[in-house]
């Protein structure tokens, strides 16, 4: 099983602007709100413990300015 490091793909106006790589998912989650306030959408790609493959999550901000997962699944 290959370990996929957690990555945040930042999108502005539909175009990918940056890719940030983290050691752990926890570190990524700490920076997530900051990234969402600067960008329209953030897509997170990572591996899950004891699972094979790559998991994705598309994040956005709700009306209360809190991060939420728009959709997720295996890619």
Tell me whether residue 2 is in a domain.
no
Residues in the chain: 75
Tell me whether residue 70 is in a domain.
yes
Number of domains in the chain: 1
Tell me whether residue 22 is in a domain.
yes
Other CB atoms within a 10 A radius of the CB of residue 30 amount to: 11
Tell me whether residue 51 is in a domain.
yes
Q: What pLDDT, on the 0 to 100 scale, is given for residue 2?
A: 57
**Measuring CA to CA, how many Å separate 7 from each of 41, 47, 51, 63?**
14, 10, 17, 25
pTM, rounded to two decimals = 0.85
Q: What is the mean pLDDT of the chain?
A: 90
Give 48's pLDDT tier (boundaries 50, 70, 90): confident
3-state SS, residue 22: coil
Tell me whether residue 33 is in a domain.
yes
């Amino acid at each position: 099983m290959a370990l996929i490091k957690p990555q945040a793909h930042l999108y502005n106006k539909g175009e990918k602007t940056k890719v940030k790589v983290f050691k752990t998912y926890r570190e990524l989650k700490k920076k997530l709100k900051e990234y969402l306030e600067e960008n329209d959408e953030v897509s997170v790609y990572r591996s899950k413990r004891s699972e094979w493959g790559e998991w994705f999550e598309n994040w956005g901000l709700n009306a209360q300015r809190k991060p939420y997962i728009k959709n997720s699944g295996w890619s």
